[in-house]
Amino acid sequence: MRIAAIGECMIELREQSDGTFARGFGGDTLNTAIYVARLGVSVDYITALGDDAWSDEMISAWQSEGVGVSQVVRKTGRLPGLYVIQTDKHGERRFSYWRGQSPARDIFSGSRHPDLSNYDFIYLSGITLSLYGEEGRSNLFASLKIAAAKGTKIIFDTNYRPRNWATLNESQSAFLKIYALTNLLFASSQDLDALYGQSDRNMLRKLLPNAEIIYKCADPACWVMTAPDEILVHAKPIANVVDTTAAGDSFAAAYIAARMSSASAEESAIAGHRLAGQVVQFPGAIIPRDKMPAPE
């Protein structure tokens, strides 16, 4: 089984308690791709970078994690986007972005686009959709339809960030189009509240009647919805939450990896909670490799 994740990786600056910054790299779908690779799944990352030293570092880091880079486009004279993370005493974080000229925004523009049809699964998010203008999203959807017709399964994580969209109507329209192609959906009550003014999981079932749905609640639990069954799967309490960055990204990775190894949806959700619970106990999006939870 092979999966491709589509999105953007940016330079990450994480503010420390003394006001200095630690530098790393991150992006929602990239975080998921790294954790998927660590869990033994073959994965490529589809994006565009510049020809600068930071982009070179990103490529090397992804390769060291086992993430395939054959579909990474390099743009001459361009630089990757940048974001700053500020974390409060409760582990909640605030993001500030400088990404308007990121080369990742252009990868589905023009007449040449990545070939998505050779993968078993394609993973993307609401942030992925927000990267592109109408032309880029139209080309992306066309590529996804071609892949789906050949048997590729589409995995979508809502990851809705209102500031990334010009209007609410634009984001709602794009989400409806991706729902029509989605086989596995990760959604959160927080995203749905922001997107629709409500967080009713039954609405998701009406919008995606044939999809497998993971609906993450405000408390540490998720509904696993595989029609006609619905199971509430609780997460174990975490006493030492340091940074919630990539909690959802890592949950998705563990869930996907478990499902691809024939685990049940409930077992996969438990695996997702276990990895996310470990990730939030460390600063930054990617925890040290030796801190990955042991398989159960």
What's the pLDDT tens digit per position in 185-216?
999 999 999 999 988 889 999 999 999 999 99
CA pair distance 34, 66, nearest whole angstrom: 8
Helix, strand, coil percent values for the chain (each to nearest 5): 40, 25, 40
Model confidence at 283: pLDDT above 90 = no
Are 225 and 215 a contacting pair, CB within 8 Å?
yes
Mean pLDDT across 65-93: 89
| Among 28, 44, 191, 249, the one annotated catalytic | 249
Alpha-carbon separation of residue 170 from 46, 136, 137 (angstroms):
24, 13, 11
Q: What number of other Cβ atoms are within 10 A of residue 276's Cβ?
A: 26
Confidence of residue 96 (pLDDT cuts 50, 70, 90): confident
Q: Which of 4, 7, 3 is nearest to 161 (CA)?
A: 7
pLDDT digit string, tens, across residues 21-74: 988 888 999 999 999 999 999 999 999 999 999 999 999 999 999 999 999 999
pLDDT attached to residue 218: 84
Side by side, which strands form the sheet with 93-98? 21-26, 10-15, 82-87, 93-98
What phi, psi does 210 have (nearest 5°)? -110, 5
**Strand-pair category, 153-157 with 10-15:** unpaired
CA pair distance 289, 66, nearest whole angstrom: 12
Model confidence at 91: pLDDT above 70 = no
Q: What number of other Cβ atoms are within 10 A of residue 4's Cβ?
A: 25
Alpha-carbon separation of residue 289 from 39, 62, 212, 247 (angstroms):
11, 13, 30, 16
Model confidence at 153: pLDDT above 90 = yes
Model confidence at 171: pLDDT above 80 = yes
**Two tokens at 103?**
């080369």
Model confidence at 161: pLDDT above 80 = yes
pLDDT attached to residue 280: 94
Active site residue 249: yes
Domains identified in the chain and CATH numbers: 2-291 (3.40.1190.20)
CA pair distance 37, 283, nearest whole angstrom: 20
How many CA atoms, within 13 angstroms, populate the side-chain half-sphere of residue 253? Answer: 30
Model confidence at 17: pLDDT above 80 = yes
